[in-house]
Structure formats: C-alpha cells, structure tokens
C-alpha cells in the first residue's frame, strides 16, 4: 500500500510538475532525458542479473544494435520512427539469439563472453561501411514525430516518451518478478540443479530473460539514436553503456525495480549538474568514490538504505508517541 501511495504522488510530479519547472531550461531537461536512457539500460541489466542470475558486461551490444537497426530502417526503408524503435529492440533480440550458446557459461566467464560479443558488433559496425557508414557514422537520423500537434522531437517531448518507456518496462519487470516464472527464476539462484529436479527448465527461463533484457536495452538505444540524430560505432557500442548502467543499478539497488532508475537519476544528474561544474576534469572519479561508499554503507543499494532509514525514523516516532501516551 505504501508503495502505491508513493507512485501516486510521484507520477503526477514526473509528468506535470517537472516539465513545468524545467520547460525553459533545455540543458537540464536534456540531462534528465539522458539520465532516463541510462535508467532504462540499467533496468534491463538489473532484470538480467536479478531474475536471470547473469552478470553482463556487454549490454552495449544490445544498445548499439538497437540504435543502428532503428536508425538504418528509418533512413533506408523510410520506416516511421515509432515503428523503427521497437524494431530496434527486435534487432537487439536477434543479437542476443547469437549469444545463446554462452548461456552454458557461468559467472565471470559469461560476463566476459558477452563483452567479447559487444566488441564483435562494434567491429562489424565499423567495417560494414556500405550499410553502417563505417567510422564516419550515420547522420541525419529522423527525430521523433509530431502527433496531434505536439512535437515529440522537442526536449519536453523526448522526456515524456523516455519517461513512459522507463515506467512501462519497470511495470513489465514487476509483473514478471511477481509471477510464477519470477519465483522459479529467484529459486534458481539458490540451486539451479534443484529447480531442474522439480521440472523447471532453467536454460529456457535464462534465455528468455536474456532476450527480454536485450529488447529493453535495444529500445533505449533506438530512442537515443532518434534523439541525438547521429550514430558512430565508438559511441553506439561505447563502454559508457556498460559502466554507467552497472554503476547506476548497483548504486540504486539492483535487486529492486525502482533502484536502477533512482540510481541512474542520482549519479548522472549529480555528475553532470554538480560534480562537472566543480571538477571539469576528472569529475567521473567522484562517481567511483560514491559507489565505493554506497557499497560500504549499504551493499544492497540506495533504495533499500532509504527504506531502512525511513522505517527507523517511523519506528522512533512511534516509540516517542507511545512514551508520551504512557506518561
């Protein structure tokens, strides 16, 4: 009940109050859009890690493939952007299908294998000049359309679209997590062999989580391509699309649904709006320090820490009220 109340309060603020406050500040609004893109990738990473039990260092592959598929289909096939974006997600699913053989690997071996795939896709995007433009990249990518008189290619329009995508996939994540399949996936973390004995097809479930995670990352890659209107391999498959989502998910609490979103907003906005102004060079070091402090203080992340603190505060207030009543 408490969680529903929080969402009832936050959603109107996210859709109405924040755009009203920032509609004249294009830089801050574009920074929030970038933070929400990272939040979407962090959510996909956390889904794979929390439900699938697989740590990935290669989500840049899904992000980049989704970006290129959406950009190229909208340019070369003249496909509407709103159709090209989910097609970018399907392109990322196609990339994930090629990775299915590595599901038999576990732990760091799986993570490194996925990282190798990301490098392979970056090389393909660089060398396949006839299609991708090579190192020169792809320019003049169509922006988001205008619908019912509202320009979604504006900063405000992009914010509303990416916010809706993040909330949609967070809702999907929550539905899966609380389903029977989610229960089976969490049980696999304790003993995969035991779940197989009771008839759970662990390999199939892990494959489905990999494909879903890839689709989510690919959609955000596609959205980002139509927002910045330019792509080149080193950017689309850059290491930032691996490190920032991982840092965000761990900082916010990757075993929760809202944690990766909160973590992305907290670290990216703090980095771009505060630390970058104070330290133009080397401001990313502060993020590393914050992550270390968070792991030391609360290994489960920022959101569980806030919940713990709020619970302690509520308990303390309740005890004070009881003492006054007894007195």
- Give just the sign of the alpha carbon dihedral 275, 67, 263, 164: positive
In this predicted model, what pLDDT tens digit does every residue of 145-162 receive, in sequence order? 988 888 888 899 999 999
pLDDT score at 314: 45
pLDDT at site 110: 87
Q: For the chain, which residues score pLDDT lower than 70?
A: 1-9, 187-200, 283, 304-305, 307-327
Long-range contacts of 281-287 (CB under 8 A, 24+ apart): 287/247
Query: In whole numbers, what is the pLDDT of the chain averaged over residues?
Result: 84
pLDDT of residue 283: 67
pLDDT of residue 307: 66
What pLDDT is attached to residue 90?
97
Residues paired with residue 139 on neighbouring β-strands, in sequence order: 230
Residue 232: Cβ within 10 Å count: 18
The SS3 call for residue 138 is strand
Joined tokens for residue 287: 């993020």
Q: How far apart are the first and last CA of the chain?
A: 32
pTM: 0.88
Which two structure tokens, joined as six digits, stand for 69? 């598929």
pLDDT given at position 141: 93
Asked if 237 contacts 124 with a C-beta cutoff of 8 angstroms, the reply is: no
């Amino acid at each position: 009940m408490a969680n529903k109340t929080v969402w009832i309060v936050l959603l109107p603020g996210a859709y109405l109050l924040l755009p009203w406050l920032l509609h004249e500040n294009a830089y801050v609004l574009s920074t929030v859009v970038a933070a929400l893109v990272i939040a979407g990738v962090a959510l996909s990473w956390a889904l794979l890690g929390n439900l699938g039990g697989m740590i990935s260092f290669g989500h840049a592959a899904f992000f980049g493939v989704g970006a290129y598929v959406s950009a190229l289909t909208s340019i070369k096939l003249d496909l509407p952007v709103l159709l090209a974006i989910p097609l970018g997600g399907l392109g990322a699913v196609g990339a994930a299908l090629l990775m299915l053989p590595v599901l038999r690997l576990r732990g760091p071996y799986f993570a490194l294998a996925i990282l190798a795939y990301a490098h392979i896709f970056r090389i393909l995007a660089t060398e396949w000049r006839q299609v991708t433009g090579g190192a020169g990249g792809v320019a003049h990518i169509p922006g988001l359309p205008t619908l019912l008189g509202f320009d979604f290619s504006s900063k405000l329009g992009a914010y509303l679209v990416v916010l809706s995508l993040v909330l949609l996939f967070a809702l999907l994540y929550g539905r899966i997590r609380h389903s029977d399949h989610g229960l089976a996936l969490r049980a696999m973390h304790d003993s995969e062999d035991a779940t197989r004995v009771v008839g759970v097809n662990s390999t199939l479930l892990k494959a489905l989580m990999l494909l879903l995670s890839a689709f989510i990352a690919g959609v955000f890659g596609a959205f980002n391509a139509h927002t910045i209107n330019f792509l080149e391999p080193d950017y689309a498959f850059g290491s930032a699309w691996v490190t920032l989502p991982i840092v965000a998910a761990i900082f916010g609490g990757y075993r929760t649904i809202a944690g990766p979103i909160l973590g992305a907003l907290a670290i990216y906005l703090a980095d771009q709006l505060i630390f970058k102004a104070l330290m133009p060079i080397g401001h990313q070091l502060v993020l590393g320090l914050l992550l270390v402090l968070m792991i030391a203080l609360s290994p489960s992340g920022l959101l569980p820490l806030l919940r713990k603190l709020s619970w302690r505060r509520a308990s303390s207030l309740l005890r004070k009220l009881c003492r006054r009543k007894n007195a």
